[in-house]
Amino acid sequence: MTDAQTDHDELPLPDYDHLPLASLGQRIRTLDADALSVVLAYEKEHANRLPATQLIEARLDELQAGAEPSGGSPTGLTPERSTGPATPRQVDQTTDAPTINPPSHGDPTNPGQPRS
């Protein structure tokens, strides 16, 4: 742990705390090593989730080995963020339901049944 804790507002990824691990893996690809170090320090100071720290450390290793940050914006489209519950679809009550035919077994007027 460091002496000065990283503030949530200083993170290069908006809503970092609410990102699923799969989205985190995609979003950190846009960050450079300095920004990624800030995210790693924040993760270790707060949740310290092993999968998240391993993912961030692996990306840091890639950057130190010569990889470049990918294009795109870490603040881009967030499909994982929902705008709220979906509104239920209204059922149209003007249509007729299909007629219900009783089963033919046990009906003495059914011509398909054997006569005794």
Query: Who's near 93: CB < 8 A, 6+ residues apart?
Result: none
Q: What is the pLDDT of residue 2?
A: 44
The predicted model scores a pTM of: 0.61
**pLDDT tens track of the chain, all 116 residues?**
444 677 777 888 878 888 888 888 888 998 999 999 999 999 999 989 999 999 999 999 999 999 998 877 776 666 665 566 666 666 666 666 666 666 666 666 666 656 55
Q: What is the pLDDT of residue 42?
A: 93
Q: What is the pLDDT of residue 112?
A: 63
Domain ranges of the chain: 20-64
Whether residue 50 contacts residue 77, with contact meaning beta carbons closer than 8 Å, is answered with no
Between CA 5 and CA 53 the distance in angstroms is 16
Q: What is the pLDDT of residue 22?
A: 84
DSSP annotation of 103 reads P
Q: What is the pLDDT of residue 65?
A: 93
